[in-house]
Chain A
């Protein structure tokens, strides 16, 4: 057996650890005894067939679902029940499988909402559009423009997002997540429904984010080419259980994974 590949980017200590997570909805067990960890600045992929519990796992990590058993340890802090607001303030941002943009607002406004946690001015100050609120609006606008620049969406910044094509909407969602300057970025099928070019662009953006800002990324994705290419380590879920966990080469040759999900090339 060849030596295990070494990750190309410098990866730090464990920043997120999920331990023995069990999640059920009524009688349906979405997750059973799932544990894995994520290291700082790495790109961790979660893969598996549909219904394996991947999105539920992300929802547990950022507090939308509360597991019946197990806990999540983030930046050293342990919690069983967390609300999404707290997760956001701790530096966790995410995108959704079905786009969760605010359809009534423009691209610029959508991304600005990502910076909401960083704004301090009060209601009265904002009503008067004066002093601190005015300054904040301009400062945050500048930060947001950097992200718009980074993701190359300047030409659509005033367009209402409802009118954008699917691929661009996904990019705007990524921009909104980045606006929060997150420590941990959860991406739920960021490339679903995209063509080859769009996927290449999205891959590039994700790698750039990881490179430039050192953001830790947990990624759910079905395109195996992408997954094997960009992830440092992979977790494989099937029917709510973890069936493999390791480097891409290991996972690819793991028999259980091949049986459940990957299949063999004919």
Chain B
């Protein structure tokens, strides 16, 4: 009853092409942004901000990146964390060596560096497909962190191997509290998400999906396959690179390429699968799910153990996490391959009729 399109006629193509064509959706989005930008920083505690919301946003950004490559363009990649590492190290080096470089420019350059590396490792996609391509990206995932650690120049020859990211400052305004960091990350992620959404609904995005669905046909109708694939790698790696820079600057505070490893790449892939392949909204949903799941497991398990007066062996939660991740992936692939985003769509369709049954 509440959620209906009745009376909302689109009289122009422009109106039809909006991201949120239904009025209720637009209001909901405005409300969500208001809560995110205004209410959360005031109401949420430091723990929530630093341990949950900031990583959620950063991983959502990386997931958007991987979704562009794997979900929209159909190029399977197990190397997203490696590109994050490139972004982090590049941003650090630019900030270090270019005096007075604005922070945002540093992030941007980090992303561009990651994009270049992404294109280089994306070249094999011109000749190989499917899980063979996954192997190529595995090469990236093993080689890049090794290189970033080996070549001392990247870490400024730091003896301890731990490099602290610089303080974040824009025009003299320091982002030192969790709330300020959160707002900065939120702003960057929101803008980049909008750009991504625009990309996937225009010619570039259609080209990607065409390559994913049937690249022979795509070539025949004139879509430049090489350009489409390499652009997908470039844009995807850019997003992962910026996410990596944010990871270093706004989340952990240090630049450690070894942390951005295969395990994280798998995690991001899981976020894509669970959230919904080929969906920007899905990227957020998947990232939220995977970020929150360990916490729920931990809390739930401890609560259960206490209630039953059981003593759990150490590492149980992390083992359960593996079980849960693996099981959920299989579940989603079988039951709803289009992930949480599709479940959300189905809910909305049901909402249109609610409270009527049909």
Contacts and interface: CB of A to CB of B under 8 A. Distances in A.
Answer yes or no: A and B touching, Cβ < 8 Å: yes
A114 interface: yes
A116 B221 contact: yes
Interface in B141-196: 195-196
Interface string B263-284: 0000000000000001000000
A93 B344 CA distance: 38
Contact of B213 (A94, A102, A123, A145): A102
B326 interface: no
A100 B202 contact: no
B210 A121 contact: no
Contact of B216 (A100, A104, A121): A100
Interface string A105-117: 1000100111011
Contact of A127 (B195, B206, B220): B195
Given A127-B198, A128-B195, A138-B14, A176 B203 contact: no
The dominant DSSP class at the A interface is: helix
13 contacts: A85-B219, A88-B220, A88-B222, A101-B217, A104-B278, A109-B209, A116-B207, A119-B203, A123-B235, A126-B203, A127-B199, A128-B198, A141-B17
Contacts of B4: none
Nearest to A122: B204
Given A88-B222, A96-B217, A113 B212 contact: no
A102 B211 CA distance: 9
A72 to B, nearest CB: 15
Interface of A: 62, 64, 83-85, 87-89, 93-94, 96, 100-105, 109, 112-114, 116-117, 119, 121, 123, 126-129, 133, 136-138, 141-142, 145, 176-177, 180
A109 B212 contact: no
B220 A121 contact: no
B223 interface: yes
Given A88-B220, A116-B221, A137 B214 contact: no
B198 A113 contact: no
A248 B37 CA distance: 72
Contacts of B14: 138
A129 B202 contact: yes
Contacts of B224: 85
A156 B356 CA distance: 25
Nearest to A64: B220
Given A101-B217, A113-B218, 6 more contacts: A96-B217, A100-B217, A113-B223, A116-B210, A119-B203, A133-B203
Contacts of A177: 221
Nearest to B13: A141
Given A94-B220, A128-B195, A138 B214 contact: no
- Kindly name the residue among A62, A113, A138 whose own CB sees the greatest number of chain B CB atoms within 10 A: A113
Category for how many chain B residues contact A:
20 to 34
Contacts of A117: 221-222
Contacts of B207: 113, 116
A102 B214 contact: yes
B222 A126 contact: no
B125 interface: no
Given A104-B213, A123-B199, A109 B206 contact: yes
A62 B220 contact: yes
Interface in B204-259: 204, 206-207, 209-210, 212-214, 216-225, 231, 235
Nearest to A139: B13
A177 B221 CA distance: 8
Contacts of A103: 213-214
Given A100-B217, A102-B217, A123-B231, A129 B212 contact: no
Given A100-B217, A102-B213, A89 B222 contact: yes
Contacts of A128: 195, 198
B213 A142 contact: no
Contacts of A138: 13-14, 17
Contacts of B220: 62, 64, 84, 87-88, 94, 100
Contacts of B216: 64, 100
A27 to B, nearest CB: 24
A88 B199 CA distance: 24
B209 A102 contact: yes
Contacts of B222: 84-85, 88-89, 116-117, 180
Contacts of B219: 64, 83-85
A142 B12 CA distance: 10
Contact of A116 (B223, B231, B278): B223
A109 to B, nearest CB: 6
B106 to A, nearest CB: 20
Nearest to A142: B13
A94 B213 CA distance: 17
A103 B213 CA distance: 6
